[in-house]
Structure formats: structure tokens, C-alpha cells
Structure 1
Amino acid sequence: MSTTHTSGTSTWTEKEIRQQPTSWLNSLKNIEGLRNGIEAFLAPLLQNNDLKIILTGAGTSAFIGDIIAPWLARHTGKNVVAVPTTDLVTNPADYLYAEQPTLLVSFARSGNSPESVAAVDVANQIVQHCHHLVITCNEAGCLYKNAVNSDNALALLMPAETHDRGFAMTSSITTMMVSCLAVFAADVINSTTFQDVATRSEQIIASQGNFSENLFGDLPFKRVVYLGSGGLQGAAREAALKVLELTAGKLAAFYDSPTGFRHGPKSLINDETLVVLMVSSHPYTRQYDLDLLAELRRDQQAMRVVAISATTSLEIAAGPHILLPAAREFLDIEQAFCFLIYAQIFALTESIKAGITPDTPSASGTVNRVVKGVVIHPWKG
């Protein structure tokens, strides 16, 4: 699978991919140092069984909620849902109810996206008992500064280096993601337990050398499809966006669940399509993933079908696959971090292969690091 492509060593994007394991542990240790203040803010809210917890953000920041909300809801027994700020500001009455106590958890790299700021404002306007947890990478951002000056909000700042300077969010998404998990599920996600995830991810990064080789094969893909079940569908969505962003749309990217893919979207597969299936570690869910994997390989319609998994099986070994470095058994929520590392590296190599500058892939300037051109209209209920 070797190529002659130049690596992205001189780019912020590569640096920010590589720094993630260290950033995760730094943030987790910081959160542990702030635990008393976090508990003082959250404990009274979590005692209310009617509390609705909305995980929100724009673009990649929204996908954090897609990835972690299902697991957090099950683990905590709380009403945890994922709703993008881009939906909250256009249709607030669909998600925000005056009489339902709400904790809005806002994720933001810069904290300056118009929808991120507006979502907080409209939530305060509609919900009688509204609180905010802001998880952001930029202490100079509007979201962070507003939260610090509000009596119904708590702001958590990520390590400074996670305010990614590259166009695409890499270390920012994963560090905010693990930090939120640690806030609500410290018994499972903390600096001690997550060391295993950091170590495995470091091994993945090291295994890719200088990022000059295409880990899914150096083939002329025109389409890529990422598939994942449950929260891993959120990871698949983020993986697809990374490809679109870093190749400036030259490589079309899609996502779905393995079971949902059969219901129409499978039609997009042709002989220029790469399919990447993120295989669940849950024994029950894994059966459905492997069923589709075997089916796609029998169909022989795609250029390549690659499985990424922690462990092998007859279905996985029957074709191209990547096995995670050996480690203890991971939950899917932990495995998602490893899968995202692979997806980020693939997107970077495809960007370089296409002759695009990864840090600023939009040559036309029509797509920006912090979105522009959004008009926020006042909510009149």
C-alpha cells in the first residue's frame, strides 16, 4: 500500500492529529482538578429527573453529541440528546420547552460561530430553568467569555493547543469529546482508564510513519462510504466530513449505519467506491456489522471494502482490514477515538494526494474555518 505522496509534516493538520493522545490526558487531568467546582454546578441539576441534557455544536462540534449521546444516556440514565446548534437556531420550538429544565452542553472550537452563540441566547429566552455547560478550546471566544460572565453557566477550557489552527477540527473534537465523557461519567472515563486509549492511539499514529502511505490502499477512489452502528455512526459521519473538508469535495463522502445502508444508500456503490466499516466491539451489534461486511464483499461492486476492528473474525479476515493494536477490551465509545484517528490520517493523505493544502483546503474561500454569512434572526415565539 505504499505511495510516493509527500507527507503533511509541515502542516498544522498533521501536528494536531499527532498531539491528540497527549491533549486528551492533559484535559482529563485538568478536569479532575476542577471536579469540586464541576460537581457543585452539576449535582443540583442532575437531581432533577425531568432535566433534559442537550449536546450541541455546529458541524464537527455537533457530531460529538452524535457519538457520545447514546452511551451517555444509557450510562447515566438521564435524558441526553444530540441537537446541532444549526437546528436549534432555526427550529428552537422543536427542541426547547419553557417548562422543561434544560442543560445545554455547547461544544465549540472557536466559540465564535454565530449559531453557537445564538443557541445559548434562544435557550435562555425560551426555557424558564436553563443552564449551560460550555466546553471550548478558545478562551477568547464569545461562547467562553459569555459563559464566564453568566450566573447560569460553567465554562471548561480545553488545552490551548486544541484550538486547532488547521481548517479541519481534529484534536479539538476528540479532546472536547473525552472531556464531556469525563464530566458525566468519571467512573468510566478518567485519566487512569483513558491511558489505555491514549496508548493505543499513539501506537496507531506511530504505525502510520510520516503519513505518506494511504492506509486504505492507494487506489483512485472517487467516493468513500463510512459505516458504523450506534454512536459509531456519529464517528462515521465525522469521518466522512473530514474527507469532504480536506479534499475540498474532490472525494465525495457519505456515511450510514450498516443496517440502514441496505435501505437505498447502498445504491451509490460503484467500482470507484471505498467502503470503510467501523466494526462494533459489542457482541450483539457486531453480528449486524459482520453480516453487511460479508454481503458487500460478496456483491463485488465496490473498489475496496475495508473493515476496522479491535479483533478479527472469519468475515473480517476474508478481505482488506485493519486491526487496532492489541489492548484490553474497549467499549465502542473508547474505540471511536481510535477509529477517528484512522479517518483523520486518511483524509490528510487524500488531501495531499489531490494536491490540496490541508490547512486551507478551500481555495475559493467559500468555506471558512469559522463560518461566515449567517444572519441570526430574533426569536419572537
Structure 2
Amino acid sequence: MTGLLGSLARDTGADDTIREIGQQPGIWREIDGIVAASRAELDGFLQPLTARDHLRVVLTGAGTSSFAGQVLATTLARRLGRRVDAVSTTDIVADPRGCFAEDLPTLLVSFARSGDSPESVAATELAEQCLSDVRHLVITCNEEGRLAREHSGRTTSYVLLMPPASNDRGFAMTSSFTGMTLAALLALGGAAYAQVTERLARAAERILRDGVFDEGIDALLARAPERIVYLGSGALRGLAAESALKVLELTGGQIVATSDSSLGFRHGPKAVLNEHAVVVVYVSNDPYTRQYDLDIIAELRSTMAPGSVIAVEAGDDGTPDEGSWRLPGAGDIEDAALALPAVICAQLIGLKAAVLRGIRPDNPFPSGEVNRVVHGVTLHPLQH
């Protein structure tokens, strides 16, 4: 393995995380094949639903899995011409009547790495309690997980299994996140994404194999940041949230990471900035949305130290300068797809920051105060 991943020592407790970040281009190609092979069955299940005028699509999951829905929601709404909402399983379980207040025909798309988190199955059960007409698309990396087992064989459910290798063994979700996001984009977006996977994989290989961002990541971490802020607009707002979580998880909370939209950041959250902060802005490929990302970059660069505001954007030249990292070959890709190679930047930042601090990324919480698969949740019955 070359690039930053290949440079990390093998005794740092990062073997799983290194492998799972590095395998993403191959996982994406495999998922493209899985969805293509399942196309007839998927269309037979999905097309009668998406043809319904009043269909509501709810994208759900917990933590990183919920951010997959946030990345996809607005793009799929445009593609389907239907209402698409990203609602976390944790919100559904806590307030099912509020989340399903309108009794509309609903497609619940559940993202789950393991499918064994308490909220995963509970959210699907609560949807069925609150709604008179609900179907389930389950996208999961674990064939043996409870979510997959509960929904396999149902006529009202379709279980789309990811490659076994995508069921990340490391603490933080990496290839599971990008793989499930891609699978939903291909399954629900249809022919519009027929050629996108190979372009995304090649962009990721430039980042991972050729190390086009390694110098920039080293320079960013040489600043010894105590706070990292990720910003993004539209689909990239969800990417910003996932990026912040990756840094927070992999460094065991030693680096405080937060996220917001490019416009929303001014409305109070900007108070997090100090001399030990850096800001990473994901720049939209949409010409209209992009203007707001460029505005906040210019504003922050006028007041912050040189090199502390990074723009991650598509461009033919993958070589970063002090303030701009360009995703190679991604100039005309929709933002929801652009998020896949872009998130690798945050994965690598979190991984190397952890190693530099002596944290073992595969298990950054050895005392168990935060767990890979959440437990300890008491599920309370919904009283009618």
C-alpha cells in the first residue's frame, strides 16, 4: 500500500482502519456489480413505489449511517420527484409519532453497518406501528445482523447486502459508509449514475495510491489543531457532519470536531474558532451553491492564519496548495457522489492525527466508554 496509508507503522493499532480506508475503490466497484446484478429485482420492488404521487421516502440510520441519508436526501428528491427526508433512527425511536405524523405511503430506507444496534430494527417496527402503508429497503453490511434477518424473505422488504469486507472491523465506519451511500445512489438514482462508480474509484485511487493530499494533510496536522470545523452546503452538509465525526471518533475525542453549513456557520457556531482551529470547506460542484462556499472561504481567510482554511474541491489537478485540495477528475459529478472520494480526506486526517497522538484508531476507547456497536439502550413500548 502506498501513500499516507503505506507510511503508517504497523504497530499503531490501526491495521483494520488502514485496510478499510484503502479498500474503498475496490468495494465501490464490487457494489456497482451487486446493484447491476440486482437491477431487475430492485426495479420490480422500487418502481411501483416511486411511481406513487404521494410517496414519502425516509432515509434512516444512526450516527454515520444517518449521515448517509443526509448526503443523499436532496439529490434523491430531485431524481425521484418525491419527498425525501433524512431522519435518524434515534429520532424515530424517541419520537415515532412526530417522525411519522403524516400517514403517507412510505419507503423506509435503513442504512446499517451491523444491523445490530438497538434502534435499527426498532425504527422499522415503529414505522409499521405508526403507518398504514410502509415498505422497507434495507442496505446493510452484515448478512447475520438482526436487521437483515428480520427483513429477509418479506414481500414488503428488500434487503440489499453489501460485500462482506465492507462490514468494517475498525471502530469508525469508513468503507461501510461510502459503500452504503453508493448503493443507495445507484439503487434509487437509476440510469443517471450508470458510469459514475468508475470515476469515483479512480479519484479515490489518486488520493490513496498516489497520495495527492498527503503533503496537505501533513501541513494541516503540523499546526497541531485542537479544533477542526467542517463546512458544506446541500448534500455536502451531511458530508461535513460525517467528516467531523470521523476525526472525533478516531482521535478518541482529543481533537474537537464540529460541522455546519457554509451559510449556517455565521449564525453562532462560528464562535468555536480560535487560534488553534482549522476549517475545511467542501466546495459544491453546483454553480449556484458553490458561491456560498466560496464566500465563507474568503471571509474566514481574511481573519484566520494562512493555511488554516482548506477548500476541498473538484479539479483536474489533484495536487494541493496551502489552501486548496483538488479532487482529481470529479469536476462535473453531483455533490452526493462527490462526497465519496471527498470523505477520504477526513478519514485520513482523523487516522493520522490519532497515530500522531499515540491513539490506536482501531480501538480509540479501550475502556469501553464508547462502543463500536451501541448497547445499553432500553427500548420502551409505544403505547397507543
What range describes the TM-score normalised by the shorter chain of this pair? over 0.9
Aligned to 2:148: 144
Aligned letter for 1:337?
L
**What secondary structure sits across from 2:148 in the alignment?**
helix
Structure 1 contact 242–343 (Cα < 8 Å) conserved = yes
Q: Secondary structure of the residue that 1:186 maps to in structure 2?
A: helix
- Say if 1:112 and 1:143, in contact at 8 Å, map to a contact too: yes
Q: What corresponds to 1:228 in structure 2?
A: 232
8 Å CA contact retained: 1:98, 1:126:
no
Alignment deviations for residues 37-85 of structure 1 (CA, whole Å, 9 cap, x no partner) = 1111112212211111100001000000100101110121011110000
How far off its partner does 1:329 sit? Answer: 2.1
**One-letter amino acid of the structure 1 residue matched with residue 87 of structure 2:** V
Deviations 1:309-356 (A, max 9, x none): 1149xxx97x52211224552221221112101111111001111111
Distance 1:68 1:209 in 2: 27
Provide the rounded CA distance (Å) in 2 between the counterparts of 1:215 and 1:138: 38
For the structure 1 residues 302 and 125, does the alpha-carbon distance in structure 2 shift closer, same or farther, using more than 3 Å as the test?
farther
Matched, 1:158 2:159: no
1:1-381 matches, cutoff 5 A: 7=8, 11-97=15-101, 99-190=103-194, 192-208=195-211, 214=218, 216-300=220-304, 304-311=308-315, 320-327=323-330, 329-381=332-384
Gaps of 5+ in 1: none
- Cα distance in 1 for partners of 2:102, 2:228 equals 42
Deviations 1:108-141 (A, max 9, x none): 0000000011001111111111111100000000
Q: In 2, are the aligned partners of 1:272 and 1:302 still within 8 Å (CA)?
A: no
**Contact 1:8–1:349 (8 Å) recurs in 2:** no
How far apart in 2 are the matches of 1:225 and 1:270? 11
Q: Secondary structure at the match of 2:231?
A: strand
The CA deviation at 1:99 is 3.1
Q: Which amino acid aligns with 1:83?
A: V
Structure 2's unaligned 5+ residue stretches are none
The answer to whether the 8 A contact 2:213-2:325 is kept is no
- Confirm or deny: 8 A CA contact 2:279 2:309 kept in the other structure: yes
- Does structure 2 retain, via aligned residues, the 8 Å contact 1:7–1:210? no
For residues 253 and 221 of structure 2, the distance between their equivalents in structure 1, rounded to whole angstroms, comes to: 20
The two structures, once aligned, show a CA RMSD in angstroms of: 2.3
Contact 1:109–1:136 (CA under 8 A) maintained in structure 2: yes
Report deviation, 1:267.
Answer: 1.2
Structure 1 346/199 Cα, relative in aligned 2: closer, same or farther at 3 Å? same
TM-score (norm 1): 0.93
Are 2:16 and 2:170, in contact at CA under 8 Å, matched by a contact in 1? Answer: yes
Range 54-63 or range 23-32, more displaced: 23-32
Taking the aligned partners of 1:8 and 1:132, their CA distance within structure 2 comes to: 43
Give the C-alpha shift of residue 217 in structure 1: 4.0
Q: Give the C-alpha shift of residue 150 in structure 1.
A: 2.5
Secondary structure at the counterpart of residue 108 of structure 2: strand
- 2:60 maps to a residue whose letter is T
Aligned partners of 1:273 and 1:304 also within 8 Å? yes
Deviation at 1:216, TM superposition (A): 2.8
What SS does structure 2 have at the residue aligned with 1:324?
A: strand
User: C-alpha offsets along residues 181-226 of structure 1, whole Å, 9 cap, x if unaligned?
Assistant: 1111121223x33211111111111133897963634221100000
Which letter maps to 2:39? R
1:211/1:48 Cα in 2 relative to 1: closer, same or farther (>3 Å)?
same
Counterpart CA distance in 1 for 2:378 and 2:207 is 42
1:145 is paired with a residue of what secondary structure? helix
**Counterpart secondary structure, 2:218:** coil
% identity of equivalent residues: 43
- Checking the alignment, whether the CA contact within 8 Å between 1:224 and 1:276 is kept in structure 2 is yes
SS where residue 17 of structure 2 aligns?
A: helix
Contact map agreement 1:70 1:80 (CA 8 A) in 2: yes
**Conserved 8 A contact 1:133-1:154:** yes
Runs (4 or more) in structure 1 with deviation over 4 Å come to: 209-213
Q: Is the 8 A contact 1:100 1:129 kept in 2?
A: yes
Deviation at 1:277, TM superposition (A): 0.7
- In structure 1, distance between residues paired with 2:213 and 2:76: 35
| 3-state SS of paired residue (2:263) | helix
SS in structure 2 of the partner of residue 306 of structure 1: strand
